[in-house]
Amino acid sequence: MSFPLDRLALQLDWNLLRTFMVIVQERSITGAAHRLNVSQPSVSSALRRLEERLDHRLIERGGGQTFLVTRAGEAVYREVLEIYGGVVRLNDLTADGGRALSGTVVVHRSSHLEMDDITPVLEEFRRQHPEVTLAIRSTPCHEVAQALQQRASTVGFCTRVDPTIHRLRAQPLKRQEFGVFCGPNHPLFRETEIDPAELAASDVVGYEEDSMAGALSALTVWRVRHGIGDRLIAAATGIVDLSELIESGSAIGCIARGHAIRYGARLWQIPVHVPPPLVDVFSLVDVERHMTPVETEFLIHLANAGIVDLPRPRSAV
pLDDT at residue 17, rounded to an integer: 85
- On whether the CB atoms of residues 291 and 275 are closer than 8 A, the answer is no
Q: Of the given ranges (72-81, 112-121, 130-139), which has the lowest mean pLDDT?
A: 72-81
Alpha-carbon distances of 25 from 118, 161, 258, 277, rounded to whole Å: 29, 16, 34, 32
> Which residues have a Cβ under 8 Å from the Cβ of 82 and sit 6 or more positions away?
151, 290
Say yes or no to pLDDT of 151 above 70.
yes
If one counts every other C-beta atom within 10 angstroms of the C-beta of residue 154, the result is 28
For residue range 233-278, list pLDDT tens digits in order.
999 989 999 999 999 999 999 999 999 998 889 999 999 989 999 9
- H or E stretch covering 235: strand 232-236
Instruction: Grade residue 90 by pLDDT with cuts at 50, 70 and 90.
Output: low
If one counts every other C-beta atom within 10 angstroms of the C-beta of residue 167, the result is 15
Beta bridge partner(s), residue 172: 282
Structural domains in the chain plus CATH codes: 4-88 (1.10.10.10), 94-171+284-316 (3.40.190.10), 176-279 (3.40.190.10)
Q: Global pTM?
A: 0.69
